Amino acid sequence: MYVIGIDIGGSKVAAAVVEKSGRVLFFSKDWVKSEVFSEDLLKLVFKAIGKKIKQAKDKKLKIVGIGIGSPGPLDVEKGIIIDTPNLPWQNLPLKDLVKKEFSLPMSLDNDANCALLGEVWLGAARDCKDVVMLTLGTGIGGALMANGKIIHTKKGSAELGHVIIDPAGPIGNCGQRGCIESLISGVALEKQAGISTYELFDEIEKGNKKYLKIIKKAAEYLNLALKKFDQEFEVERIILGGGMIKAKPYQKFLFDHLPANLKPKVKIAKLGEKAGVLGAAKLVFDKI
Ligand SMILES: [Zn+2]
């Protein structure tokens, strides 16, 4: 039994055929232009799905559904993308459109939730039921699982990136001062360093003290956030994903300063760019 898993992001659409065992076949990525129009992005998603269906058919694999992860806010039940800052879609009934085009069952969820589902299924939180995942990228995404169920809010997923850590911090996109995103997102770190995050991580790998200071402070803030989540949600596992956590010195500062009780709970995400397509496919497998 196979499902098409699609992971829509601001800069790419990833697609794969996923076996019920979790094996990923025909993984591919199509880049999305930054000024893409609504219809063109939809065409790109349809093309990606069509291509996977054809690849599966050529191998005589039986496709039973399509799972899609997309940036929110979105309405999971109705399958509508409401209004997301990183995509050109407003009130797009994605679920109905996909069902009509391909005549297959379709499930939709927020991209952060899909990444968490993937990690619980096959990655850093296997067999865990109470999990928090933070995705540290350009912005900060958050997802929460309680007793084996993804927690959905009106916006689709838990807005953990906007939890306030430093009331004297800078004002974030959400209008609040000192939320996690305003302090340690890629955008925030670039502002503090005056260079791109690629250059920043390059400099700290080289041991440049000026930039090490920035990353140490970021690790301190992240540490505070993790303690807060642990107290608030009493989770078994906290997963950290996204490009910003990949730098080894950053990870080291973070883990060196975690309290002893928290250390075994915090893990770096394992599935990388495949987490999204796996989680999206799992949405469908869970309904069968
Ligand atoms: Zn915020």
Q: Is residue 248 part of a domain?
A: yes
The mean pLDDT of 224-229, rounded to a whole number, is 95
Residues ≥6 apart with Cβ < 8 Å to 168 = 177, 178
Residue 216: the pLDDT is 93
Residue 256: the pLDDT is 92
CB atoms within 10 A of CB 104: 16
Q: Give 160 Cα–ligand 1 centroid separation in angstroms.
A: 9
Coil, strand or helix: which one is 141?
strand
d(CA 178, CA 17): 41
Q: Is residue 14 part of a domain?
A: yes
Q: Are residues 71 and 37 in the same domain?
A: yes
Number of domains observed in the structure of the chain: 2
The percentage of residues in the chain with a pLDDT greater than 70, rounded to a whole number, is: 100
Q: Is residue 194 part of a domain?
A: yes
Q: Are residues 27 and 98 in the same domain?
A: yes
Q: Is residue 195 part of a domain?
A: yes
For the cut 80, the answer to whether the pLDDT of residue 154 exceeds it is no
Q: Give 168 Cα–ligand 1 centroid separation in angstroms.
A: 13
Residue 34: the pLDDT is 77
What's this model's pTM, rounded to 2 decimal places? Answer: 0.92
Q: Give 111 Cα–ligand 1 centroid separation in angstroms.
A: 18
Q: Are residues 143 and 78 in the same domain?
A: no
Q: Are residues 264 and 132 in the same domain?
A: yes
Q: Give 131 Cα–ligand 1 centroid separation in angstroms.
A: 21
Q: Is residue 279 part of a domain?
A: yes
Confidence of residue 158 (pLDDT cuts 50, 70, 90): confident
The percentage of residues in the chain with a pLDDT greater than 90, rounded to a whole number, is: 78
Q: Give 61 Cα–ligand 1 centroid separation in angstroms.
A: 44
Q: Are residues 18 and 148 in the same domain?
A: no
For the cut 90, the answer to whether the pLDDT of residue 196 exceeds it is yes
Q: Give 134 Cα–ligand 1 centroid separation in angstroms.
A: 14
Residue 71: the pLDDT is 87
3-state DSSP percent of the chain in helix, strand and coil, to 5: 40, 25, 35
Q: Are residues 40 and 69 in the same domain?
A: yes
Q: Give 223 Cα–ligand 1 centroid separation in angstroms.
A: 17
Q: Give 176 Cα–ligand 1 centroid separation in angstroms.
A: 6
The mean pLDDT of 160-178, rounded to a whole number, is 92
Q: Is residue 15 part of a domain?
A: yes
Confidence of residue 9 (pLDDT cuts 50, 70, 90): confident
Q: Are residues 136 and 98 in the same domain?
A: no
Q: Are residues 257 and 135 in the same domain?
A: yes
Domain that holds residue 58: 2-114+274-285
Q: Give 162 Cα–ligand 1 centroid separation in angstroms.
A: 4
- Tally the residues of the chain: 288
Q: Is residue 119 part of a domain?
A: no
CATH of the domain at 84: 3.30.420.40
Closest CA to 145 of 119, 163, 123: 119
Give me the DSSP letters along 29-64: EEE--TT--HHHHHHHHHHHHHHHHHHHHHTTPPEE
Q: Give 194 Cα–ligand 1 centroid separation in angstroms.
A: 21
Q: Are residues 56 and 145 in the same domain?
A: no
d(CA 123, CA 118): 7
Q: Is residue 189 part of a domain?
A: yes
Q: Are residues 161 and 94 in the same domain?
A: no
Q: Are residues 132 and 263 in the same domain?
A: yes
